[in-house]
Amino acid sequence: MVNFKKLWTKKTLLGLALGQFLSLLITSTGFSSSELARRGINAPTSQSFANYVLLAIVYGAMVIYRKKGLKAKWYYYILLGIVDVEANYLVVKAYQYTSLTSVMLLDCWTIPCVIFLTWFFLKTKYRLKKFVGVAICVAGLVLVVFSDAYSSDSAAGSSPVKGDFLVIAGSVLYAVSNVSEEFIVTNTDRIELMAMLGLFGAIVSACQISILERQELRSIHWSAGAVLPFIGFALAMFLFYSFVPIVLKHSGSTMLNLALLTSDMWAVFIRIFAYDQKVDWMYFISFAAVAVGLIIYSWGSREDDKGKVQVAEETAEQSNTMDVETAIGNTVQGSTVGSSRPGDGKHDSAPSAPQGIVVTDC
């Protein structure tokens, strides 16, 4: 029986609140991009540029104040900045061709990509239920593509299939960016990562804007209706980038994934009530499939973490036992041969310690 008093703790409620805050931030970025696309403004790199500048200014000031050198190589951050900028570019570009709901749902393609990349590069092991959950998610995403391909409603966008594939390509790059951030942040810290990502992301964005979007920016009539979505997108992205590590530390990846899933629900509500548009029935089936898939994927993560901790404790205990046995053996050996060797023993060579065992689990 579920203990609801234990379930609805202050920590759980705070995690839910923070998760929904991130979900609303993601929805607001989609709403801003959709508004700009509706006004004929096609400048996806320019939308993300302000976010990177804010990250560079705020977190860069913290890095300078600490007066510490970088813990990771600077060229890693350049590569990460390029991947992150192009991921944002492709996804924002997709709003020119497909609907808000399709973009929000197809973003979930990041999950199977992350699984593959962590399994291939980080050697993370996954259980069968993880793959079952991913398969259900992918099935739901396929429904979205088919719905857009055969939709006769203009709300689906000018070229829905093209937009869907742009989102999928952007999701792949998001996965590369996420796995790279996971690898880097384990060796550095959140402040340095955000500062360097903002710095090099701003530089890459500025170069791309000067090449691809100069004419588009000149042709924009900068009214309040055009400026406000730009500002809203930048602020929402900055807050999202800043709060994601906090939610991961507080509630874990399971709560984050389930919370961000509700952004699709908010997107449907916006499309129905704000734009007065009809939503194809396949969207609801797709949403249900993605929800079920993510729940199956996330189910039991706490048990997996406990298993990883138990394995680590057993490994540490085994290592300590080996250290004790080695020390006893050295003591016995020293008492036997030490009297025939000159010196006080402090300058004698010590035996090599046993190598640690690295265990990787989901």
Of the candidates 185, 192, 242, 200, the one whose C-alpha atom is nearest the C-alpha of residue 62 is 192
Among all chains, which residue has been given the structure tokens 């991130």?
22
pLDDT band at 103 (very low <50, low <70, confident <90, very high): confident
Q: How many CB atoms lie within 10 A of CB 311?
A: 14
- Provide the whole-model pTM: 0.70
- 243-301 pLDDT per residue, tens: 887 776 666 554 565 667 667 667 777 777 777 777 778 878 887 887 787 777 766 54
Is 353 exposed, middle or buried, given 0-12, 13-18 or 19+ CB atoms closer than 10 A? exposed
- Residues 167 and 351: their CA atoms lie apart, in Å, by 56
Contacts of 37 (CB under 8 A, 6+ apart): 95, 96
* Stretch 73-86: mean pLDDT: 93
Q: How many CB atoms lie within 10 A of CB 15?
A: 19
121, two tokens: 């590069």
- 153-177 pLDDT per residue, tens: 545 567 888 988 999 999 899 888 8
Is residue 200's pLDDT more than 60? yes
Q: How far, in Å, are 115, 117, 212, 302, 348 from residue 120 at the CA level?
A: 9, 5, 35, 23, 44
* Stretch 17-31: mean pLDDT: 86
pLDDT at 81: 94
- Residues 34 and 156: their CA atoms lie apart, in Å, by 12
- Residues 197 and 114: their CA atoms lie apart, in Å, by 19
Largest CA distance in the chain: 95
- Residues 64 and 59: their CA atoms lie apart, in Å, by 9
- 307-358 pLDDT per residue, tens: 444 444 444 455 454 444 454 455 444 444 333 333 443 334 334 343 333 3
Is residue 225's pLDDT more than 60? yes
- 27-74 pLDDT per residue, tens: 898 889 888 888 888 889 999 999 999 999 999 999 999 988 888 888
- Residues 107 and 167: their CA atoms lie apart, in Å, by 7
- 124-164 pLDDT per residue, tens: 777 787 788 888 878 887 777 777 666 655 455 678 889 88
If you compute the radius of gyration of the chain from its CA atoms, what whole number of angstroms results? 26
pLDDT at 341: 37
- Residues 122 and 134: their CA atoms lie apart, in Å, by 19
**In the chain, which residue ranges form alpha helices assigned H by DSSP?**
4-7, 10-38, 44-66, 74-94, 100-106, 110-120, 128-149, 160-185, 190-212, 214-219, 224-269, 281-298, 301-337
217, two tokens: 């920016």
DSSP string, 184-203: HHTTS-HHHHHHHHHHHHHH
Count of positions (residues) in the chain: 362
- Residues 183 and 193: their CA atoms lie apart, in Å, by 11
Dihedral sign of CA atoms 267, 270, 272, 276 in order: negative
- Residues 214 and 286: their CA atoms lie apart, in Å, by 38
137, two tokens: 């998610």
Is 182 exposed, middle or buried, given 0-12, 13-18 or 19+ CB atoms closer than 10 A? middle
DSSP string, 75-119: HHHHHHHHHHHHHHHHHHHHTTTS-HHHHHHHGGGHHHHHHHHHH
Question: Would you say 148 and 99 are in contact if contact means Cβ atoms under 8 Å apart?
Answer: yes
